[in-house]
Homo-oligomer: A and B are copies of this chain.
Amino acid sequence: MDDGKTGGDSKPNLVQVKHKLWLEKNGGIFGEGLFQLLSNVAGLGSISHAAREMGMSYRAAWGKIKMAEDGFGVPLVITHVGGEMGGGARLTPAADELLIKYRRFQELVDTFVQNSFQETFRGWPGP
């Protein structure tokens, strides 16, 4: 499962570069895992559905979200208990904005890393 690493697993027979990118504040962590998770929450309307979709426990998903909310001091999900479908969750505007910005950022960095890698490591190891 993807945990934030980039580069895929193609061409195992030549040197490839990988990287991982995340934001931190006061112990709160936002990276590729939470990006995927929140995207799924937005699409499915439920934390538990999103967690199952990614093959993780509800406990793990809820913990990641709460850690990030506590650390960043920003609510990311609006949840309600009981009622139609038993309950549910949707994203806050701050979370929506975060997803958009993070994806753009991730793409910028990925492109730079690949290009810079080619330039730096051209011809290593020598013949």
Chain B contacts for A121, CB-based, 8 A: 23, 101, 105
Interface flag for A113 (CB, 8 Å):
yes
Chain B contacts for A120, CB-based, 8 A: 101, 104-105, 108
- Which of A13-21, A41-49, A54-62, A78-86 lies at the interface? A13-21
Chain B contacts for A72, CB-based, 8 A: 15, 125
Per the 8 Å Cβ criterion, residues 1-19 of A in contact with B are: 7, 12-19
Task: Give Cα distance in the complex from A15 to B24, angstroms.
Answer: 6
Per the 8 Å Cβ criterion, residues 84-127 of A in contact with B are: 94, 97-98, 101, 104-105, 108-109, 112-113, 116-117, 120-121, 124-126
Q: How many residues of A contact B (CB 8 A)?
A: 35
Q: Is the CB of B19 within 8 A of A23?
A: no
Interface flag for A25 (CB, 8 Å):
yes
For A95, the closest partner residue in chain B by CB is: B125
